[in-house]
Structure formats: structure tokens, C-alpha cells
Amino acid sequence: MELALLLIVLIIVVLVVVNIRVVPQARASVIERLGKYHMTWETGLHVKIPVIDRIARQVSLKEQVGDFIPQPVITKDNVTMQIDTVVYFQVTDPKLYAYGIENPLLALEKLTATTLRNIIGDLELDETLTSRELVNSKMRVILDDATDPWGIKVSRVELKNIVPPREIQDAMEKQMKAERERRESILRAEGEKKSAVLVAEGQKESRILAAEADKQSTILRAEAAKEAMIREAEGEAIAILKVQEANAQGIRLLNEAKPSDGVLTIRSLEAFAKAADGQATKIIIPSEIQGIAGLVSAIKESAK
């Protein structure tokens, strides 16, 4: 009896140990009991009841990347191109992911291709090539809303490659070449224009500086001439002053010597002689001096 009990206990322990399950980080396990959904195991240690419980599905809760094959799409202006899409998604509800749809990844790929065709079909070629962000945001919103019943959260959608037909690529390359040549011509013309403007401004500045230098030179010459005239005038004024002072001094000395009338008369005659200086043709002598002049002449004759 005791052996049978011990055997039963040993079997139970073995069954428990065998059915212990550890769910690692960022994973979840969907558990069915008797074929019906029972619970979702989160990260940690769990024990499964043998025969009754079954792990229906193990789900990764990490963000995943779906890199789908290129899809042929037609633009609004009837250009066929190949576009491959990358979708970043994460499972948020393991139960819905397990029971919402049969093959979630395949469904997401087909939904992505359909959505891409619908969006690109409303755009022309140029808009498709220049509106990647718009297409990405529209697809993310549509896919995120459509995958909610599947327990999937779409976080980001990217158009990885857009490959137009070969003839379209050739035309685009020619257009880009022509645009580059046009920009080069514009830049060259703008450079020549700026160079001409700078040269003209330099010549203008040079003429202004030359005129300013001439003006300063003229002013300096005028100031020098003015200074010379002032100094000459001052010299003449000093000379005149000296002469007047000498005359005044002579008169003063003459007054101090108290000369006789004869001396004054002789001085007067000498003054008239100096005044004539051989230049005058006629000299008028006052009457009072004439008598003395005759007397002087008589003295000179007698002296001979």
C-alpha cells in the first residue's frame, strides 16, 4: 500500500516537473483547455495540466519587420512601376493574433500590396516620386486600423525602392542633366554679374577717392597760398611799421636838435631831389624855398 502511494506521488511529481513551462521575456503563450482558449501566459514560470491544457501558439511581442517583395503598381498617368515596402509591426494581443486570422503575416503582406495600389493609383508619377512621406503616413494609418482585429499594431511603413520603367528613367536622367546645365548657366551668369558690379563699384570708389584727394590737395594748396600771403602781408606791415618808426624817430631826433631854418630848407631841397630822382620832368618848388635855393646857387658860383 505504501509502495503504491509512493509510486502515485512520484508519478504526480514527474508529471508536474515535465509540464513546467518558462515563458521568456518579450514572448507570450496562448493556452487552450480542452480545445478552447483558456488564458495567455506572460513572462514567468507556469504549470500546464497534462492532457487538458495545450500550448496553442507562442507569440513574439518584439517589434517585427515585414520586408515584402516588390509590387507592380500603376500611377494615375498610367505609368507602371515596381515598389517594395517595409512594414514595422508589433503583436499587442496574442489571443487576437492566434485566432483573428489564419496567417497574419501573409494577410499583412496582401493588405499592404492592395493599400499601396490604391494610394499610388491616385497619384501621378512626379507626385509618387516626391511624396514618399505622404504615402508612408497614409499606408500606416490604413494598415494600423485594418490590423487591429488581428492584435497587430503597425508602427511604421516605408517605401524602400521605387523603380520606374527604363524609358522613364532615361527621360528623368535627361531632365536632370538639363536642369543641372540650366542651374550651371544661371550660376555662371550670376557670378559674371556680381563680378561686373564689383568692378564698377571699385572704379566708382577709385574715382571718388581720386576726387577726394584732388579736393584735399586743392584745399592744402589754397591754405598754403593763404598762409604765404598772410606772412607776406605781415612782413610788409612790419616793414612799414619799422619805416614809420624810423621816420618818427628821425623827426623826434630832429626836433630835439632844434635845427635852424636854413638847415630845414636844405633838407627840404634834398627831399625834393630825392623825390624827383631823375624821373620827374617838372618840379614845383614853394616860393619861400626858391630864395634860399638861389642863395645856395650863388654861394656855389663864388666858391668856383
Q: With a cut of 50, say whether residue 146 has pLDDT above it.
A: yes
Which CATH number does the domain 63-164 belong to among 3.10.350.10, 3.30.479.30, 1.20.1630.10, 2.130.10.10?
3.30.479.30
Domain ranges of the chain: 2-60, 63-164, 185-258, 259-304
Q: If pLDDT is split at 50, 70 and 90, which confidence band does 140 have? A: very high
Distance CA 72, CA 113 (A): 9
Distance CA 170, CA 137 (A): 30
Q: What share of the chain is helix, strand, coil (3-state, %, to 5)?
A: 60, 20, 15
| pLDDT tens readout for residues 120-134 | 998 888 888 888 899
Q: What is the pLDDT of residue 128?
A: 84
CA dihedral 256, 257, 258, 263 (to 10 degrees): -140
Q: With a cut of 90, say whether residue 156 has pLDDT above it.
A: yes
| pLDDT tens readout for residues 6-29 | 888 787 777 777 788 889 999 999
> Nearest-5° angle of CA 116, CA 117, CA 121?
115
* Diameter over CA atoms, the chain: 207
Give the SS3 label for residue 216: helix
Backbone angles phi, psi at 259, to 5 degrees: -70, 155
Beta strands at 63-67 and 71-74: parallel, antiparallel or unpaired: unpaired
88 close to 139: Cβ distance less than 8 angstroms: no
